[in-house]
Amino acid sequence: MAQKQRTSIKRPSSKDVAKLAGVSRATVSAYLNRTRYVSPELSEKIEQAIQELHYTPDPVARALKLQDTKTIGLIIPVMSNFYMPLMQVVNEVAHQNAYGLLLCSSEEDPEREREVLEIFLAKRVSGIMMAPCSEKNRKLLNDIQQKGTPIVQVNRKIDGLEADSVVSHNFKAAYTATEHLIHKGRKRIVFLGYDPDSLVNAEKKTGYDAALADYKIADNLTILVKEHQREQIRTAFRTFLETGQSFDGLICTTQGKTAIGLQLLKAYALRIPQDVAVIGFDDTPWSSLLWPPLTVISENTYTMGEEATKLLLKRIENKEKIAPQHIVLEDELIIREST
């Protein structure tokens, strides 16, 4: 009764093929998976039967037997445009290699992340690609790998975790951004905004701090805010603006923050770059069309995803354990007129 109501004839099984071809199901399986020799004559017959019945192996049954669904599970912390290029490649490469793509966001919540991991595991994904939202699931991730499901971290990584990772050099990127502003003569640079719980963001913050220190700038104007809460970012920055503290530089660490930052600057009639020079993270098609055209740190999310997917697929196919690889991509400073 819970069985799905299917009006038509149900799909053929390997049994049907076997019967029609006059062989055993084992041989059909062998033929399909090239798992042992099958004589040309039988192969021929089987092939015909398959064609005739329009047979396709049932992936669910196969999954039950093999404990693997040929699916890669992708966990991103939040559904934002930033991850689109990533999803694009993962989807494409996965599809090309006959893998499916199971997607879920953790909403920056470690508890939910754990839940999703467990669901993915239960669903027998072949491997997991994820941008971890904290260090909290370190142990779980380790266990998962140990038990044989490869994990590759992308964009964010948990320090010391024995799992592949491909990330941007966030420290350097933020350092470069800050330095660039300093070179432009800015001394009161605000960092919008710092989320101590976020892995990438913390790195960026460190880069910012380091640059400030290296150039002997004492004023550390860090605006603290939970990264993923749109309205909270707005409020935090507005609050800062209301205090009337003077500043002449602004670093926005994500696309979302950049948009909000620019909107508020505009609302407060602050001129860019005369009053405040601004630099954002992530280059988008809009960056050069803004007024003024925005200086950015461009992260190559596409390449990130590409490397990560290749790595993951390699892990899935070659079960032998080799030391985790850690790829770090350099970001690019694109100077436009906002600084």
Partner DNA sequence: ATGAAAGCGCTAACAG
Partner DNA sequence: CTGTTAGCGCTTTCAT
- Is residue 119 at the binding interface for DNA, with CB under 7 A as the rule? no
How many CA within 13 A on the CB side of residue 231?
0
Cα–Cα distances in Å, from 58 out to 65, 75, 109?
Answer: 11, 26, 35
- 29 or 309: CB nearest DNA: 29
Task: Choose the one of DNA, its own copies, none that binds residue 26, judging by a C-beta under 5 to 8 angstroms depending on kind.
Answer: DNA
Distance (Å, rounded) from C-alpha 83 to C-alpha 167?
Answer: 13
- Is residue 322 at the binding interface for its own copies, with CB under 8 A as the rule? no
- Is residue 66 at the binding interface for DNA, with CB under 7 A as the rule? yes
- Is residue 13 at the binding interface for DNA, with CB under 7 A as the rule? yes
CA 239 to chain CA mean position, Å:
32
- Residue 160 phi, psi (nearest 5): 80, -5
Task: Choose the one of DNA, its own copies, none that binds residue 322, judging by a C-beta under 5 to 8 angstroms depending on kind.
Answer: none
The DSSP code for 275 is T
Residue from 20, 30, 133, 311 touching DNA (CB under 7 A): that is: 30
- Is residue 36 at the binding interface for its own copies, with CB under 8 A as the rule? no
Tokens for 37? Answer: 């020799």
- Is residue 68 at the binding interface for its own copies, with CB under 8 A as the rule? yes
Selected range binding its own copies among 152-160, 207-215, 261-269, 328-336, rule: CB under 8 A: 261-269
- Is residue 59 at the binding interface for its own copies, with CB under 8 A as the rule? yes
Kindly state the number of chain residues that form the binding site for DNA, as judged by CB under 7 A.
34
Task: Choose the one of DNA, its own copies, none that binds residue 250, judging by a C-beta under 5 to 8 angstroms depending on kind.
Answer: none
What region does 283 belong to: left with phi over 0, alpha with psi -120 to 50, or beta?
A: beta
Question: What are 127's strand-pairing partners?
Answer: 72
Contact at 8 Å (CB) between 167 and 153? yes
Q: What is the contact surface with DNA in residues (CB under 7 A)?
A: 1-3, 10-11, 13-15, 22-30, 32-33, 35-39, 41-42, 55, 57-58, 61-62, 64-66
